[in-house]
Structure 1
Amino acid sequence: MTAEPGEVLANQIGANLPFLRRYARALTGSQTSGDTYALATLEAILSEPDRFDTALKAKVALFRAFHAIWTTSGAPLEVEAPASGLESKAQKHLSALTPNTREALLLHTIEEFSTEEVGQVMGVGAAEAQELINIAYQEMSKSTSGKVMIIEDEAIISMDLESIVAEMGHRVTGIARTETAAVKLAQEERPDLILSDIQLADNSSGIDAVNKILQGQEDCPVIFITAFPERLLTGEGPEPAFLISKPYTEEQVRSAVSQAMFFSSTETLKV
């Protein structure tokens, strides 16, 4: 039995919606703001189905529809009033960045679009998309260095993350393999950023560890790493603003760390 066009469209959007949420949250630094843009995209497509270009890949078409809204709204960064401290500093950094560079970098690294697809999403040529990505790397590499705490039970992965973070100019305060060790490590030295796995060595939870740590330092941004990102991006309840998938690439980690350092997102997953 052949599916109706509307059903096909709904299925295509539904399959890619978790990743649009992830992108929108990383772009705004907030679950609330990101989801607001994602919802506006869905409403726009429902009212004007032609916004979803069926000649493109489904994910590209959905992100392109999002960008039409994002750019026409002025791509505001002050959706939520910035607080003092790290978030205020982030807004100052962001105001100095070349327009469209963060978008291009996130699309290419976190969402794994090719440069040609980045161009399709943003409405520019592949060469211009590549140039925006290059500029983003150059500008974001100048961001202030900080202290990064890693919560990861697999030795090879933790060593790899430590190497990537150190090469970016940040200092790793330590590596924790369990929830208890993570809380203790955070008490010994307050990190500026937490990079955390979900499932830890003794079957404890990286999510629980982060929630306990954030009770004492709510302005610390967090990046979660998981093999199943779609399970954490359902739109039901508080969810992480920064999320990368396993297996990850070095580019993805670098991009996520740079983005998270710009924003003081205290929103995290609570279960």
Structure 2
Amino acid sequence: MTNRKPEPDASQSPLTWTALLAHWTAVAQAAKSLPDEGDSGRLKRALPEIIGLQAVAFAMADLDRVLSHERSTAIDKASVLVRRHASAINDLWRGEPLPLAVEEVIEDARLSLRLAELAGLEWVVADEVLIAEHPAGLVAGLIAAGFRGDLYLPTPGIELFEGCPAGFVRLHGGAFPDEDFVEAVSEFLGEGVAGPERRAGLRQAYRQFDFSKGGPVRDLVAMSEDSLLSGQPLLVPAVLGGEVQRVTLPPRGPGLATPLPVEFEGPGDRPGDGA
């Protein structure tokens, strides 16, 4: 188990937002030498805007290299750029449908912004089973220490099985939490978890039931912000935006007799597909 926040690649020194965006802009500019596709003059005139959107998308993917105190500013500036480039492209087509490839460039840039804002640290169950206690003590300590982010933890008293997300913490704008906060969550979850690792958003686990078979049949893991899945969410918000949330007490009675399979909705939800 790792009891401190993961560091960015040691081979990559911290960069300012300006330097990072300039780097990816230079890379994107090189694409101008590639052969043009299609016969639309509008597409050619849109090339600077497309390059700008691609530069933002690539820069957002590297945002963890930005100095921590510049992260929020970087996201704000990137958001302005995406709106500006997308507006210019739409003006060129004057209300006509955009080519699919151009739409995808715009959506990729918007998605990169969203993922950068939602990024956080995730712990995963490494043992056969994990049963967490009620987090009242942990939450009280974090709030007293000034934690103002989001914290998701296992439902108290409910079994989580190997491979299932066990915890997630993030700050506003996807910034790295202080090491003390990370250590406190790691200590609460115990030795039966792996991580934390950087991930572009919360993965939720849903316990799904088939009552014709007598109860729960699997735990399905998916990106929380993109999913409307049936089942019982296994991670509960203990803190949201620095505000303490109500967490139920552990249930009474026996637990599950046998482990459930942990399955994943999509390739991006599988272990190792982090930020």
> Same-fold call, TM > 0.5?
no
Q: Which one has a larger percent helix, Structure 1 or Structure 2?
A: 1
Q: Which one has a larger percent strand, Structure 1 or Structure 2?
A: 2
Structure whose CA Rg is larger: 2
Structure 2 length-normalised TM? 0.23
Structure 1 length-normalised TM? 0.23
